[in-house]
Structure 1
Amino acid sequence: MKRQIIDTISAYETIIIHRHVRPDPDAYGSSFGLKEILKASYPDKNIYVTGEHEDTLSFLAHPDQVSDAQFEGALIIVTDTANTERIDDQRYKSGAFLIKIDHHPNDDAYGDLLWVNTQASSASEMIYDLFEEGQSSANWQLSDDGARVLFAGIVGDTGRFMFSSTSQKTFDTAGDLIKYNFDRTELFNGMYEVERNLLNLQGHIYQHFVMNENGAAYVKLPLETLREFGVTASETSLLVGSLGNVKGIKAWIIFIEEEDQIRVRLRSKGPVINELAKQYGGGGHPLASGASVYNWKDADEVIAKLNTLCE
């Protein structure tokens, strides 16, 4: 499969890379990491990353401005995106050929060519795996900045190598990437330093979360709370793992109210939660998933189902 992807890439002059909406470090790491590899390996090709920019990831990269005309005859590669509804920039349909590279369960098998590896810690790890194949078969090159964003993607999706998805291959990949010339301290600062108002909201989460005797927990962050602390819904993504430090917790939900929906962020230390997320139009990994509901009554229903999962 990797050789097929490499051969397909070599056949196109314009390559446009997509990732999922509301991006995280792995979405940026895999898409921009692939862009950096292809720029270094094929300097005459036109390589772009499209999608709406996430300000909290400005330390990693910024998407390109891509016109409608540039999609004509282009190869489209989508990284780190399980289903078509979550692809950022629906113009992906306008390209000539579509490749999916992802590590989520393959519930939506879209694309003309698919490479899905649910054993990989991250899409960024898969992109480095693809690079190694390309390096040996097509003399692919990886720049320092490409290594930097791939490393960030792996660190982000493994929770700094603490999640169970971290494998020997993950550590081997990270070990290879840190041989490149980039400032890891500066990178970690970009990933984990937060503004004081976000820390204040984290304190609010610790003070107001509810956990039952089975280890199921939740906290609700309505719009008025976000406004009180001056925090946007997207910025709360930095706090999703906070409750993981609570002794005795098995799984938890953080509900974030937006103008048109309530975002449901689920995390787990054991119970499989992605099937629960799918019931509410979402999905993801067995221990890290997301979904949406549209009123607090449905949110309470999700809480009840999580309680049952943790019994």
Structure 2
Amino acid sequence: MKRHIIDTIEQYDTIIIHRHVRPDPDAYGSQFGLKKLLEANYPNKSIYAVGEHDHSLTFIATPDSINDEIYQNALVIVTDTANTERIDDSRYKNGAFLIKIDHHPNDDQYGDALWVDTNASSCSEMIYELYAEGKDYKNWILPDLAARALFTGIVGDTGRFLYPSATVKTFEIAGQLIRYNFDRNEVFNSMYEKEANLLHLQGYMYENFQMDENGAVYIKLTKEILNKFQVTSSDTSLLVGSFSNIKGVTAWLIFVEEENQIRVRLRSKGPIINQLAKKYNGGGHPLASGATVYSWEEADRAIEDLKELCREYK
């Protein structure tokens, strides 16, 4: 499949790369890692990376703004996105050919060509594998900026290599990437340094989370609480792992109220939670998922479902 993707890339003069809404480091890492990789090897092609910008990820790159006409006769590649509902920018359908590259469960088999590897730690890891195939097949090179983006994506999706998804292959690829010319400390600082107000919110979370006897944990962050600490909904993504080091925690839900919905971040130390996420308009990995509810009553039902899941796991 990797060679088929490379052959397809060579057939198109215009390539547009999409990723999922509410991007994380792997979404940007795979998207912009692929963009920089292709720009280095096909300087005569027009290559774009699109989607709504998340300013917390500016240290990786900034998306392109393009007109609708550019999609005509273009190759569209979507990275790190399990289903079409989560693709950022609906114009992905307007190209001539669509490729899906992803590491989530392949429940939505969209695209004219699909490469899905659920054993990969991240989509950024898969883009490195694509480069390695291209190196053997077409003498591809990997520029420093691409290596930096891919390393960032891998670090993000493996929780700094702490999650079980980090395999021997993951460490081998990371070992190759750190040979390139970029500042790892700068990457880590950009990813994990927090503003004081965000740390104050994290303190509030530690003081107010709820936990039952089976280790099911939840916290509700209303708009009033976010405003009190001057934190945006997007900012709270940096706090999703806050409960991971608490003894006795099995799995947790963080509810973040937005204007017209409540974002739900789900994490687990053991129980499979992506099916729970799917029940509430979401999905993701077995131990790390996202969802959306539209009322606090619906949030309470999700909490009861998590409690039952943790009870069965225990």
* TM-score in terms of structure 1 length: 0.99
Offset at residue 267 of structure 1 (A): 0.1
Match of 2:270 in 1: 270
Q: Does 1:139 align with 2:139?
A: yes
- Say how many residue pairs are matched: 311
Q: Which amino acid aligns with 1:285?
A: H
CA distance in 2, matches of 1:28, 1:247: 32
Matches within 5 A, 1:262-301: 262-301=262-301
SS in structure 2 of the partner of residue 281 of structure 1: coil
* Matched-pair identity in %: 67
* 1:261-292 C-alpha deviation (Å, 9 max, x unpaired): 01110000000000001011100000000111
Q: Normalized against structure 2, the TM-score is what?
A: 0.99
Which residue in the other structure is 1:11 paired with?
11
- The alpha-carbon deviation at position 84 of structure 1 amounts to 0.4
User: What is the 5 A alignment of 1:20-59?
Assistant: 20-59=20-59
Instruction: Give 1:221-240 correspondences, 5 Å limit.
Output: 221-240=221-240
Whole-angstrom CA distance in 1 between matches of 2:52 and 2:258: 18
Opposite residue 256 of structure 2, the aligned amino acid is I
1:217 aligned counterpart, secondary structure? strand
Counterpart-to-counterpart distance in 2, 1:245 and 1:77? 37
After TM superposition, list the pairs within 5 Å mapping 1:3-152 onto structure 2: 3-152=3-152
Post-superposition CA distance 1:6-56 (Å, at most 9, x none):
000011000000000010000000000000110001011101000010000
d(CA) in 2 for partners of 1:166, 1:269: 15
What secondary structure, in the 3-state scheme, does the structure 2 residue paired with 1:243 have? Answer: coil
Name the residue aligned to 1:165. 165
Listed as ranges, the gaps of 5+ residues in structure 1 are: none
Per the TM alignment, residue 209 of structure 1 is displaced from its structure 2 partner at its CA by 0.4
Partner of 2:174: 174
Supply the AA of the counterpart residue of 1:109. Answer: Q
String of CA shifts for 1:107-147, please: whole Å, max 9, x gaps: 10000000000000000000000100001101111110110
Alpha-carbon distance in structure 2 between the residues aligned to 1:287 and 1:246:
16
Q: What is the distance in 1 between the residues matched to 2:308 and 2:207?
A: 24
Does residue 156 in structure 1 map to residue 160 in structure 2? Answer: no
Query: Alpha-carbon deviation of 1:66?
Result: 1.2
Tell me how far 1:65 sits from its aligned partner: 1.4
Instruction: Give the C-alpha shift of residue 67 in structure 1.
Output: 1.0
1:169 deviation in Å? 0.3
State how far apart, in whole Å, the 2-side matches of 1:20 and 1:33 are: 15
What is the rounded CA distance, in whole Å, between the counterparts of 1:255 and 1:65 in structure 2? 31
**Partner amino acid for 2:189?**
N
Counterpart-to-counterpart distance in 2, 1:271 and 1:258: 27
* 1:90, distance to aligned residue in structure 2 (A): 0.6
Q: Which amino acid aligns with 2:103?
A: H
**Does the residue aligned with 1:176 lie in a helix, a strand or coil?**
helix
